[in-house]
Amino acid sequence: MALLHGKDTETTTLLHVIQSAEASETKHFDLIRLELDSGRELILAAILDDDLDATGRILEGLQDLQGA
């Protein structure tokens, strides 16, 4: 079961993704890249594991770089 891939982006809500994650017993790394009507791009990532501390620190570092 993918958390993001194969989902209908018109009807799937964040709540649906969270509920799927809650129901899953396996690790997930799911990434989708969408082109918006405005021409801009959006990347969504869903990562599910028992301990995401290191992953969270890496992503927070990337977020800090974006703000620079």
pLDDT digits (tens), the chain, 68 positions: 789 988 888 899 999 999 999 999 999 999 999 999 999 999 999 999 999 999 999 999 999 998 75
**CB atoms inside a 10 Å sphere around CB 55:** 13
Q: Which token pair is 2?
A: 């993918």
52, 45 Cβ separation under 8 angstroms: no
Domain that holds residue 59: 15-67
**Is residue 8 domain-resident?**
no
**Is residue 53 domain-resident?**
yes
d(CA 48, CA 28): 5
Q: How high is the pLDDT of residue 66?
A: 87
Q: Give, in order, the Cα–Cα distances in Å from 45 to each of 5, 15, 55, 67.
A: 10, 15, 12, 19
Give the residue from 58, 29, 31 showing the smallest Cα distance to 42: 31
**Is residue 7 domain-resident?**
no
Q: Which token pair is 27?
A: 């690790």
**Is residue 58 domain-resident?**
yes
**Is residue 5 domain-resident?**
no
**Is residue 9 domain-resident?**
no
Q: How high is the pLDDT of residue 9?
A: 84
Give me the number of domains the chain comprises: 1
* pTM of the full structure: 0.81
